[in-house]
A and B are shown apart, each in its own frame.
Chain A
Amino acid sequence: MDDFRGKWLDLVAAADSEAALEEVRLQALGKKGEIALRMRELGQMSPEERMTVAPALNALRDEVAAAIIAKKQAFQDAALDERLRAEWLDVTLPVRPRRQGSIHPITQVTEEVTQIFAAMGYAVAEGPQVEDDWHNFDALNIAPEHPARQEHDTFYMARAQGDNRAPHVLRTHTSPVQIRAMQGQGAPLRVICPGRVFRADYDQTHSPMFHQVEGLAIDRDITMANLKWTLEEFLKAFFEVPSVDLRFRASHFPFTEPSAEVDVRCSWENGTLKLGEGDSWLEILGSGMVHPKVLQAGGIDPNEWQGFAFGMGIDRIAMLKYGIPDLRAFFESDLRWLRHYGFGALEVPTLAGGL
């Protein structure tokens, strides 16, 4: 039996190709193979003889079969290795280009601002870009002939002959949205109004279209001190700084009283803005307590309710935060600019993940 085993294992080991191995397998284990024939002979043996031969023969058969499978695997591995050696690619070649999209800074910053104010309970209100002059001016306590109205550099829509209404305007601020929000929702109220606004002004630092976000909070006992806190919290979160130092300066807006320009302490180093330190003050927004006449125009009783409003340029805070030098380039759609200053599709600002 040992010789018999040795013969077959030697034959398996000696097979030099998959075909030769298959030949050995047929000779050993095939239907007419020697091991199979020996198995068949078991039937003619005495039970005693069979008791000793059968296990040995079974073991031999399994051992030879295993050797064949192992040998076959070795042949296949060698063949695969050979094929892979031939399959050489210059992986330094460039890939198939894939378009890389981007989100405009205006969209990104608007979402950032929305995140922060949403956490403070402010909803987002929207309104028409073409406004009637009542919503854009009168309701905001800007009388028709008052110089304040002239200072707005307003775009007016053309009026058809015979249409004697005052011409509509392209809204000069998003404040008319505040009026609409007050009219629609009443008090108490907390909204921000982001959107496009228009002024007939074009030079190095002005664009005839830009973006504003205004905020409005109306309640029974809101004060200007609440306004200051709100702006401090906003600016800290938006600029991601541990502290800010705000300076409220008396100013004038027809729709607020008292009114304040708000400056933030900053330093400029090599053109980079740092908030919360330094000796410079940067004018960043206008604000104040909502004028009683404006509340009235919004259908809210000024004897019962009061609140604050503020407004700032989205483009401007985007420029400050992200170091974007030129306002006008925002609207030129230069692909190089869009790619450089734009944001990745999945860079969605969240309070949890960072703004």
Chain B
Amino acid sequence: MKLTLSWLRDHLDTTASVPEIAEALTDLGLEVEGIHDPAAALRPFTIAKVRDAQQHPNADKLRVCQVETKDGLQQIVCGAPNARAGITVVLASPGTYVPGIDTTIGVGKIRGVESFGMMASERELELSDEHNGIIELPSGEVGQSFADWLQAHDPARVDPVIEIKITPNRPDALGIRGVARDLAARGLGTLKPRPPVAVEGAFDNPVAITLDEGLDGGCPLFAARLIRSVRNGPSPEWLQARLRAIGLRPISFLVDVTNFFTFDLNRPLHVFDADKLAGGLTVRPAREGETLLALDGKTYTLTAGQMVIADDHGPQSLAGIMGGEESGVTDTTTNVLVESALWDPIRIAATGRAQKIVSDARYRFERGVDPAFAEEGLDRAVAMILSVAGGEASHRTTAGAVPDTARAYRFDPDRLRTLVGLDLPEGEQRRILDALGFRTEGDRAHVPSWRPDVLGDADIVEEVARVASLTRLQGAPLAARGPAIPKPVLTPAQARLGRAKRTMATLGYNECVTYAFIDRAAAALFGGGDEARRIGNPIASDLSDLRPSLLPGLLKAAQRNQARGQGDLALFEASESFTGGEPGEQRAEVAGLLVGRAQAKGVHGPARAYDVFDAKADLEAVLSALGAPAKLQIRRDGSGWWHPGRHGVITLGPKTVLGEFGELHPRVLKALDVKGPAVAFTLWPDAVPLPRAATRARPRLEASDFQAVERDFAFVVDARVESQALVQAAQGADKALIAEVRVFDAFQGGTLPEGKKSLALTVRLQPRTATLTDAEIEQVSARIVDKVSKATGATLRT
């Protein structure tokens, strides 16, 4: 909200400067967002007098003036038609910046004649659009600051404008008097009393007012007065200047009065042209489909329940939000009905939002106006209209009643110390509350009617603390609870996820943080895109659905990087993906994506594209960092976004899925416009069991001193038999003796029959009690061949 210094001074008797006021406002919680001081730009300009003006020898329209300035008599060339001897002018000496022409004045020659400055027009000083001549002042001394002269003679022209941000709890500060009250409580002046007004009614208001029964509390009070025989027209200059200064456009006096009261006293009003009303006015819920041409020129279609003020022809005003065009006042209005009402903030907010109307009235009514001031506000507005536009006022018609909002809360002066940590004498606390309009009575503080936000004991403390100033607060140490050396606070799962991230970075992946929402098509590619995970009001169509997986976000990141010429990528994200749209239907996920080449072509060899085994290796490394057991199985029944033949699902036991890895399906890459090859993995850290051991101690190291023996076996097996089957079978041959089974060779073709492949295993035997004899080695070898053959149909190559 904007206010000007002079407007503020209508309510506040103060000598404080603008910076002092601004600092206090911000500190009070009325944050200053900007200060515009027109005088600031005018400071360098001084008053001068033209002593002599002669025709320029070389130019018809220029005059050569001798000007008495703060620096003595100076010669200035001037093109203004009114430049003549004897006038008092505003001078820009050399070196002065002139805002209206965005130029700094220098010493120069104009058509061969030297000129030492410039005499300014109003437009050049950005005071108005006036540019027919230079400013002629009716008074002023040579050398006097023009800003000071304006301050003394025409203060409205240099009225500083302060813009403040009003938090939603402070509707009272949406009126300038409310702002003044805060400042007065702070000690920056005194709040000026308002003399009472009384406007006698000369006749009964002929416009009957009815509150419909269906309003259900939507309009507690509707008061109105009719004024006959007014003369509408432009507002007095002071009023126009006020409104212009805070960014409002003067329209006509009757309309300007409503705006003035809106900003002056937070009392929105509405004026109807009474001659355009048919019959009385009824405040009622709108009927579905009724329309209203509003003052903003737009036609609104109303829905049932939105409150309107209607005459016999239909809605004439959208209650508390915006008036109607048809019954609005014009310059020719002579009979005006002035309305001052109270509206249910919730209903106003709902209607305003539904109709997407932003108005000063809605803004105030949905935050809460002073209910006790509705009738007085009406009378004050009527008094102002009568004094300027003449006419004769009716008695006040009031429908409904001022609701009783009287309430009081506990005032405990000690709470300022025990809750906030500030010390302030009780008397000073009471003074603050009184200055804010509270009435303290023993240990009770009665809340003023204009503070709907004060709803509890803590609010009373807050008001005192706020006005006393939180800047006085001194930090007080908060003793730590628990042992001197703090205990670890991360849960094992939190600590482990941190390790997973660091492991990924160690493996050479760059961590990304991508949006939690993606476009529907991408979500659908990864098992999402359903109704449960749809965002109702997405900010953009490509951010419409909760991500079912981290991979689409990473793939899109890859696509963007490819578009910028970054083709070889190792990206990861560790965050949440969503399994549904209910709270808690999310799970931690770590996803890694490899795109392009594992190694570029170089002096050390040819290029190598990433393949499935790069992804698998990294997945295994992260699983290991998470503490997953070494014995994991691989299934091939993974999600549809993987290449059907080139992916795996890593499981613990038959059911617990820890992760998936593989080459991404070419269709997925195409849909997301990613140039392959692309391999990736996903893992779900919470699926990895946490260590059960309650101790940090490791199990004893079993390191046998007897020589280990390695034996190689080459098998021929069907091409689609997995090496995992052979490895497991071999391990099963003697679990105690066989320490490791390693696949060291795999190939197809050559002398092998079609549909067969060769798989070669190295088996490491680790005896624990005695060195193995040849016979023992032969025995276990035979068992290995037998187990592998039985399990997989493999035959030993000979």
Question: Which residues from chain A sit less than 8 Å from chain B, CB to CB?
Answer: 93-94, 96-104, 106-107, 111, 114, 117-124, 126, 128-132, 135, 144-148, 150-151, 155-160, 167-168, 170, 188, 190, 196, 198, 200-202, 208-209, 217, 219, 221-226, 228-232, 246-252, 254, 257-261, 289, 291-293, 306, 330-336, 338-339, 342, 344-346, 348
* CB-based contact A100/B511 at 8 Å: no
CB within 8 A of B470: which of A122, A224, A292?
A224
In Å, the complex CA distance between A196 and B561 comes to 24
CB nearest to B532 among chain A residues:
A160
Q: Which residues of A contact B417 (CB under 8 A)?
A: 223
Q: Give min CB distance, B369 to chain A, whole Å.
A: 14
* CB-based contact A224/B501 at 8 Å: no
Within 8 A of A (CB), among B480-509: 480-482, 486, 488-491, 494, 498, 501-509
Extra A-B contacts (11), CB below 8 Å, given A111-B498, A224-B420? A103-B502, A124-B490, A144-B346, A160-B532, A201-B539, A202-B540, A230-B475, A249-B470, A252-B170, A336-B564, A344-B505
* CB-based contact A333/B534 at 8 Å: no
In Å, the complex CA distance between A200 and B29 comes to 26
In Å, the complex CA distance between A68 and B63 comes to 118
Q: Which residues of A contact B512 (CB under 8 A)?
A: 104, 333, 338
- Say if the beta carbon of B353 comes within 8 Å of chain A: yes
* CB-based contact B481/A292 at 8 Å: no
Which of B470, B571, B581 is the most central at the interface, judged by chain A CB atoms within 10 Å of its CB? B470
CB nearest to A209 among chain B residues:
B515
* CB-based contact A232/B475 at 8 Å: yes
- Say if the beta carbon of B769 comes within 8 Å of chain A: no
CB within 8 A of B418: which of A118, A223, A228, A346?
A223
* CB-based contact A103/B480 at 8 Å: no
In Å, the complex CA distance between A332 and B536 comes to 24
Contact with A along B428-448 (1 / 0, CB 8 A): 000000000000000000000
Q: If the complex has contacts A107-B511, A334-B561, are A130 and B474 also in contact, measured as CB distance less than 8 A?
A: no
In Å, the complex CA distance between A344 and B471 comes to 40
User: Would you give 12 A-B contacts (Cβ < 8 Å), ordered by A?
Assistant: A101-B505, A101-B507, A103-B501, A120-B480, A121-B486, A129-B516, A130-B582, A146-B168, A226-B421, A249-B26, A251-B29, A252-B453
- Say if the beta carbon of B242 comes within 8 Å of chain A: no
CB within 8 A of B581: which of A97, A168, A260, A346?
A168
* CB-based contact B535/A118 at 8 Å: no
Within 8 A of A (CB), among B539-568: 539-540, 543, 546, 554, 557, 560-561, 564, 566
CB within 8 A of A124: which of B469, B494, B561?
B494
In Å, the complex CA distance between A122 and B480 comes to 10
- Say if the beta carbon of B458 comes within 8 Å of chain A: yes
* CB-based contact A118/B507 at 8 Å: no
CB nearest to A343 among chain B residues:
B505
In Å, the complex CA distance between A69 and B514 comes to 70
CB within 8 A of A249: which of B29, B482, B602?
B29
Within 8 A of A (CB), among B396-445: 417-422
In Å, the complex CA distance between A260 and B27 comes to 9
* CB-based contact B481/A96 at 8 Å: no
* CB-based contact A333/B462 at 8 Å: no
Q: Give min CB distance, A216 to chain B, whole Å.
A: 13
* CB-based contact B576/A221 at 8 Å: no
Q: Which residues of A contact B476 (CB under 8 A)?
A: 223, 225-226, 228-229
* CB-based contact B462/A257 at 8 Å: yes
- Say if the beta carbon of B28 comes within 8 Å of chain A: yes
CB within 8 A of A333: which of B514, B531, B604?
B514
In Å, the complex CA distance between A337 and B532 comes to 34
In Å, the complex CA distance between A221 and B418 comes to 7
* CB-based contact B506/A223 at 8 Å: no
* CB-based contact B470/A258 at 8 Å: yes
- Say if the beta carbon of B345 comes within 8 Å of chain A: yes
Q: Which residues of B contact A120 (CB under 8 A)?
A: 478, 480, 486
Q: Give min CB distance, A185 to chain B, whole Å.
A: 12
CB nearest to B470 among chain A residues:
A248
Q: If the complex has contacts A130-B546, A250-B29, are A148 and B459 also in contact, measured as CB distance less than 8 A?
A: no
CB within 8 A of B502: which of A201, A331, A334, A346?
A346
In Å, the complex CA distance between A289 and B29 comes to 15
CB nearest to B499 among chain A residues:
A348
* CB-based contact A101/B458 at 8 Å: no
* CB-based contact A147/B366 at 8 Å: yes
Q: Which residues of B contact A260 (CB under 8 A)?
A: 470
Q: Which residues of A contact B509 (CB under 8 A)?
A: 99, 101
Q: Which residues of B contact A160 (CB under 8 A)?
A: 531-532
- Say if the beta carbon of B349 comes within 8 Å of chain A: yes
* CB-based contact B506/A101 at 8 Å: yes
- Say if the beta carbon of B113 comes within 8 Å of chain A: no
Q: If the complex has contacts A250-B28, A258-B465, A345-B506, are A331 and B513 also in contact, measured as CB distance less than 8 A?
A: yes
Q: If the complex has contacts A101-B505, A348-B502, are A228 and B474 also in contact, measured as CB distance less than 8 A?
A: yes
* CB-based contact B583/A250 at 8 Å: no
Going nearest first, the 10 A-B pairs with the smallest beta carbon separation are A99-B508, A225-B421, A229-B475, A333-B557, A345-B505, A250-B29, A252-B167, A101-B505, A223-B421, A248-B470
In Å, the complex CA distance between A249 and B510 comes to 40
* CB-based contact B502/A259 at 8 Å: no
CB nearest to A156 among chain B residues:
B536
- Say if the beta carbon of B538 comes within 8 Å of chain A: yes
In Å, the complex CA distance between A229 and B571 comes to 40
Q: Which residues of B contact A247 (CB under 8 A)?
A: 471
CB within 8 A of A342: which of B511, B557, B564, B583?
B511
In Å, the complex CA distance between A106 and B281 comes to 60
- Say if the beta carbon of B569 comes within 8 Å of chain A: yes
* CB-based contact A101/B508 at 8 Å: yes
* CB-based contact B505/A188 at 8 Å: no
Q: If the complex has contacts A128-B583, A198-B516, A334-B560, are A118 and B474 also in contact, measured as CB distance less than 8 A?
A: no
Contact with A along B583-601 (1 / 0, CB 8 A): 1111000000000000110
- Say if the beta carbon of B54 comes within 8 Å of chain A: no
- Say if the beta carbon of B295 comes within 8 Å of chain A: no
* CB-based contact A150/B353 at 8 Å: yes
In Å, the complex CA distance between A98 and B600 comes to 11
Which of B28, B459, B478, B502 is the most central at the interface, judged by chain A CB atoms within 10 Å of its CB? B478
In Å, the complex CA distance between A153 and B184 comes to 35
* CB-based contact B599/A96 at 8 Å: yes
In Å, the complex CA distance between A209 and B575 comes to 13
* CB-based contact B420/A223 at 8 Å: yes
CB within 8 A of A168: which of B27, B494, B582?
B582
CB within 8 A of B458: which of A96, A119, A231, A257?
A257
- Say if the beta carbon of B477 comes within 8 Å of chain A: yes
CB within 8 A of B420: which of A232, A249, A258, A330?
A258
Q: Which residues of B contact A159 (CB under 8 A)?
A: 536
CB within 8 A of B536: which of A131, A158, A252, A336?
A158
- Say if the beta carbon of B684 comes within 8 Å of chain A: no
Q: Which residues of B contact A96 (CB under 8 A)?
A: 599, 602, 604
CB within 8 A of B478: which of A130, A229, A261?
A229
Q: Which residues of A contact B471 (CB under 8 A)?
A: 247-249
In Å, the complex CA distance between A248 and B29 comes to 10
Q: If the complex has contacts A250-B29, A289-B419, A335-B569, are A158 and B511 also in contact, measured as CB distance less than 8 A?
A: no
CB within 8 A of B510: which of A123, A167, A331, A335?
A335
In Å, the complex CA distance between A129 and B486 comes to 29
* CB-based contact A102/B473 at 8 Å: no
Q: Which residues of A contact B462 (CB under 8 A)?
A: 250, 257-259
- Say if the beta carbon of B367 comes within 8 Å of chain A: yes
CB nearest to B493 among chain A residues:
A126
Q: Give min CB distance, A317 to chain B, whole Å.
A: 15
Q: Which residues of A contact B575 (CB under 8 A)?
A: 196
Q: Give min CB distance, A221 to chain B, whole Å.
A: 7
Q: Give min CB distance, A277 to chain B, whole Å.
A: 18
Q: Give min CB distance, A199 to chain B, whole Å.
A: 9
Q: If the complex has contacts A111-B498, A222-B478, are A156 and B537 also in contact, measured as CB distance less than 8 A?
A: yes
CB nearest to A123 among chain B residues:
B489
Q: If the complex has contacts A107-B501, A333-B512, are A258 and B602 also in contact, measured as CB distance less than 8 A?
A: no
